Amino acid sequence: MCGIVAYVGNKSAAALLIEGLKRLEYRGYDSAGLAVVRGQDQGIALCRSVGRVSVLEARYAKDAAIYEGQLGVAHTRWATHGKVTEENAHPHIGATRSGHTVALVHNGTIENYATLRKYLEGRGHQFYGQSDTEVLAKLVAELYEPQKNIDLERAVQLALQEVTGAYAIAVICDREAHTLICARKGSPLTIGLADNAYVVASDQSAIVAHTTQVIHLNDYQVARLCAGPSDHGSNEPWSIDFRTTTIDNVTVEQQVTELELDLQQIELAGYPHYMLKEIMEQPEALRTSMTGRLDLREGRVVLGGLTNMSRDLARARKFIITGQGTAYHAALIGEYLMEEMARIPCECEYASEFRYRNPVIEEGTFVVAVSQSGETSDTLEALREARERGAVSLGVVNVVGSTMSRETDAGVYLRVGPEIGVASTKAFLGQLAVLTMMALYVGRRRHLSQQTIGELLTELAAIPDKISQVLKQSEKIQACVEKVVDRNNWLFLGRGYNYPVALEGALKLKELSYIHAEGMPAAEMKHGPIALIDEGMPVVFIATQGNQYDKVISNIEEVKARGGRIIAVATEGDQHIERYCEGDFIFRVPHAAEPLQPLLTTVPLQLLAYHAALQRGHDVDKPRNLAKSVTVE
Ligand code: M6R
């Protein structure tokens, strides 16, 4: 949700900033901009444009010489306050009393911006847009008084003391040509320590090309990063140094950590889209996720992240699993898994609801936050609320070093590699795999026999190969989609473990192809939504063989009787299903135990949404109005 990147060092900043923005573009793509300090007291060059980073790049390229400088900030926006216009694009500018200029980029929301704006207008600042960020840029400028020892670092600290809301910011001023200030509260920010330079970004993907040494800022922390020519007498031509403080100017020590990410992982590797790449790499991603965690000989699950609390987990009284969007769908499956395998009461809830509704947290409650990014604001706040009320917090998170991974008591990483496509695919399967392993881990410590767990582990280990078989149907799915892609209303129906898969299938289709789709338990259809069914309406059934197969078939009959067009995800070898749909409309998955079926049945629905979006001419990696990581409420 907005991407920020900033640079101070011995290279030209602008091209490097644009490169960084391209890597962060999946976080938002309404508008983009950059600002570069042209040298001590030489002013700031500002370039902003509505639309994608490519539009900004073209504008910059026309006058590249203007943007020559070694200190700069840049931004790609997902609009919150203020329309998608050039005036509201970042960086935002503020004029200081001493005649200098401050430029600032921001990810987050400033809740008290209206009050601050009124105050600043009273002080003579002229606003050109409606963005909350513009207020912050002007507030820093207002407070900047170098003659009174209020330099940029101090002005930022003071400004942030006045602010309520969430922020990750990077700030520059043309009077301090070698100093970059950044800070965070609630929104992610990582500082890369490169050779003779610092690169700051909303996430690691914009940093890894420069360095793997990073610092993760914590809430209310401010970093002052300096890189410039050394003083006379020094052996090194260039010197760099940094310090971090709280917004109250108390020095804080920082730990430098090593990024677990390499550049190759975030390249397209010959695929036309990240989404397709990420769908296709699911077998390998799951193998990596499970490596070293399934002990088939001993019939047990090994989860290093939970070792220290295995006894507490075995005695847990209740689990609450929470997340948003796709992660919420994984959490729903987690609820079924935990109750079936561990026999511990479990509730699944949207994080956004949980955090505001005064939930009951009793002794022995574990709250599990499920999140690809580990930064989703709703999930993070729910987690904090749960901890505050005494719950033990666990994270099921993909991004190593993310805020959730740092704020939970323990957790298990997905280990599926970076997910760049805005639509979550491999992270969903990773979440399912980890939740399954967690349920087995707890279940084994309670009542699951070695034999039962042994059988499930053997099946789980075979899942990646089975996914590979499902993926071979991509062309068939594409051909099916061609016949129905013009329909604007779809239903997705499933029962048991495949009910959340129906929700996920509908979400994928909605967010990528902008087709209206609803997912629900197959039985729920009769209670209202059946009224929607008309001649030819596509209704996708997850109709794999299992306990509720006959019931699903009855639901299929009901839809067929009303003219609906059935698309079925069915078990290989099931001939009965062929009575209800044309062969082209049946996507096959290999047989699997019911709790593991979502790991297979989700895959054709991902491909279906991918092909539908392409056939409707949409950008699958950057669907409209969406951002990868939702760091605002
Ligand atoms: O990073 P998270 O897993 O916490 O993100 C949660 C949702 O925002 C995310 O899954 C979203 O629903 C995706 N666009 C779905 O494809």
Point out the ligand 1 atom lying closest to the alpha carbon of residue 379: 4
Mean pLDDT along residues 224-244: 85
Amino acid, single-letter form, for residue 184: R
- For the segment 472-486, the average pLDDT, to the nearest whole number, is 96
Tens-place pLDDT, residues 256-292: 999 877 777 888 888 999 999 999 999 999 999 999 9
Q: Which of 83-97, 108-122, 253-267, 599-613 has the lowest mean pLDDT?
A: 253-267
Task: Tell me which residues are annotated as active site.
Answer: 2, 628
Beta carbons within 8 Å of 362's beta carbon, 6+ residues apart? 317, 318
> What is the pairing mode between strands 190-194 and 238-246?
unpaired
* Mean pLDDT, rounded, for 405-411: 95
Q: How far apart are CA 420 and CA 516, in angstroms?
A: 24
> Residue 8 belongs to what H/E stretch?
strand 3-9
Q: What is the mean pLDDT of residues 532-552?
A: 95
**pLDDT-derived band of residue 598, with 50, 70 and 90 as boundaries?**
very high
∠ CA 562-489-481, rounded to 5°: 95
Q: Return the minimum-mean-pLDDT range out of 351-355, 369-373, 582-586, 590-594.
A: 582-586
pLDDT at 237 over 90: no
For 357-381, the pLDDT digits (tens) are: 988 999 999 999 999 999 999 999 9
Indicate left, alpha or beta for 514 from its phi (over 0: left) and psi (-120 to 50: alpha). left
Query: What mean pLDDT is predicted for residues 64-80?
Result: 93
Q: Peptide bond preceding 188: is omega within 30 degrees of 0, i.e. cis?
A: no
Mean pLDDT for 593-610 is: 98
CA of 373 to the centre of ligand 1 (A): 8
Taken in order 567, 604, 525, 548, the sign of the CA dihedral is positive
For tokens 């020559």, what's the residue? 68
Give the DSSP H or E segment for 13: helix 13-24
The share of the chain scoring above pLDDT 70, in percent, equals: 99
Q: How far is the CA of 511 from the centre of ligand 1 (A)?
A: 11
pTM of the full structure: 0.84
pLDDT above 90 covers a percentage of the chain that reads 84
Q: Which of ligand 1's atoms lies nearest the C-alpha of 427? A: 3
Those residues whose C-beta lies under 8 Å from the C-beta of residue 551, and which sit 6 or more positions away, are 495, 522, 523
**Among the CATH numbers 3.60.20.10, 1.10.10.10, 2.60.40.790, 3.90.1150.10, which is that of 3-263?**
3.60.20.10
Residues 394-399 have a mean pLDDT of 96
State residue 186's pLDDT score: 84
**Between vectors from CA 324 to CA 106 and to CA 494, what angle results, nearest 5°?**
150
Report yes or no: 251 and 293 within 8 Å, Cβ to Cβ. Answer: no
Ligand 1, residues 610, 630, 631, 632: which to mutate, most atoms within 8 A of Cβ? 630
Residue 78: predicted pLDDT: 83
| CATH class in words for 472-618 | alpha beta
Give the C-alpha separation, 414 to 250, whole Å. 36
- Atom index in ligand 1 nearest the CA of residue 508 equals 16
Angle at 270 between CA 268 and CA 275, to 5 degrees: 50
Q: Per-residue pLDDT averaged across 184-211, rounded?
A: 93
CATH 3.40.50.10490 fits 269-468, yes or no: yes
Classify the C-alpha dihedral 17-22-23-24 as positive or negative: positive
Residues 372, 594: Cα–Cα separation, whole Å: 24
Which candidate, 255, 236, 242, 254, places its Cα nearest to that of 194? 242
- Report the pLDDT averaged over residues 120-136: 95
- Residue for token pair 């099946």: 459
Residues of the chain with CATH 3.40.50.10490: 269-468, 472-618
At 435, list the tokens. 């939740």
E strand or H helix that includes residue 192 = strand 190-194
- What's the first-to-final CA gap in the chain, in angstroms? 11
Q: What is the pLDDT of residue 28?
A: 78
Encoded tokens for 369: 């936050």
Q: Distance of CA 27 to CAs 5, 260, 293, 590, 592, Å?
A: 12, 20, 32, 36, 36
pLDDT tens, residue by residue, 287-345: 999 999 999 988 899 999 999 999 999 999 999 999 999 999 999 999 999 999 999 99
Q: Is the pLDDT of residue 631 over 90?
A: no
Mutation probe of ligand 1 site: the residue of 370, 424, 513, 620 with most atoms within 8 A of C-beta: 424
Residue having the nearest C-alpha atom to atom 11 of ligand 1: 325
Neighbours of 58 (CB within 10 A): 11
Ligand 1: atom nearest CA of 422 is 14
Q: Report the DSSP pairing between strands 489-494 and 538-543.
A: parallel
List the structure tokens of 283: 């077998």
Mutate to test the pocket of ligand 1, among 27, 326, 380, 435 (most ligand atoms within 8 A of CB): 326
17 CA distance to ligand 1 centroid (A)? 26
Q: What is the mean pLDDT of residues 445-456?
A: 92
Both tokens assigned to 444: 């084994």
Residues with CB under 6 A from ligand 1: 323-327, 371-373, 376, 379, 422-424, 511, 626, 629-630
Contact between 41 and 52 under an 8 Å Cβ cutoff? The reply is no
Alpha helix (H) residue ranges in 472-576: 474-484, 498-513, 549-561
Q: If you take atom 9 of ligand 1, which residue's CA is the nearest one?
A: 325
Write the DSSP string, 131-171. Answer: -HHHHHHHHHHHH-BGGGTB-HHHHHHHHHHT--EEEEEEE
Say whether pLDDT at 415 is over 80: yes
Q: Answer whether residue 233 shows pLDDT above 70.
A: no
Tell me the sheet residues that pair with 490: 517
In the chain, residues under CATH classification 3.60.20.10 are 3-263
**Residue, of 33 and 232, whose pLDDT is higher:** 33
Contacts of residue 324, Cβ cutoff 8 Å, sequence gap at least 6: 350, 351, 352, 371, 376, 378, 379, 630
pLDDT band at 18 (very low <50, low <70, confident <90, very high): very high
Mean pLDDT, the chain, as a whole number?
A: 94
Q: How many CA atoms lie within 13 A of 21 on its CB side?
A: 33
How many Å is the Cα radius of gyration of the chain? 26
Distance CA 273, CA 277 (A): 6
